[in-house]
Amino acid sequence: MQNIPPQVQALLGQLESYQQQLQLVIQQKQKVQVDLNDAKKALEEIEKVEENTPIYKTVGTLIVKISKDKAVEELKEKIETLEVRLNALNRQEQKLNEKIKELTQKIQSMLRPTAG
């Protein structure tokens, strides 16, 4: 780092911070995506069961009887919430990728040997 001007070092620090934020967003996206797939598969499976099939839901360490209609309704709400969250994370990812691209270009131009 000795030969890198202080200005560029500051930008490199900022770049690293954006990359860490991006990693975090990507991890969160993966988790939401898994939860979303699980919820969609569960909905598909619940919708197929006969109308009077006993269904329970887990509430922490408790298990409580629930009607099929209520189970379907709650799953749909969960899916909607997860989709909203996934969209927000996608937007964050895109913005971070843009910032990283811009910053990388800026750093490269500052490190490029100038004519003269």
Residues that bind its own copies (CB under 8 A): 38-39, 41-42, 45-46, 49, 53-66, 71, 75
As measured in angstroms, the least distance from the Cβ of 59 to its own copies is 5
As measured in angstroms, the least distance from the Cβ of 78 to its own copies is 9
Q: What is the DSSP secondary structure assignment for residue 57, as one 8-state letter?
A: E
Q: Which is nearer to its own copies, 75 or 107 (CB)?
A: 75
Distance CA 108, CA 89 (A): 28
Element (H, E) at 50: none
Q: Which residue type occupies 93? A: E
As measured in angstroms, the least distance from the Cβ of 33 to its own copies is 15
Q: Which is nearer to its own copies, 58 or 114 (CB)?
A: 58
Distance CA 103, CA 13 (A): 11
Element (H, E) at 58: strand 55-59
Q: Which is nearer to its own copies, 13 or 50 (CB)?
A: 50
CA distances from residue 67 to 41, 57, 105 in whole angstroms, order as listed = 18, 10, 57
Q: Which is nearer to its own copies, 53 or 94 (CB)?
A: 53
As measured in angstroms, the least distance from the Cβ of 81 to its own copies is 14
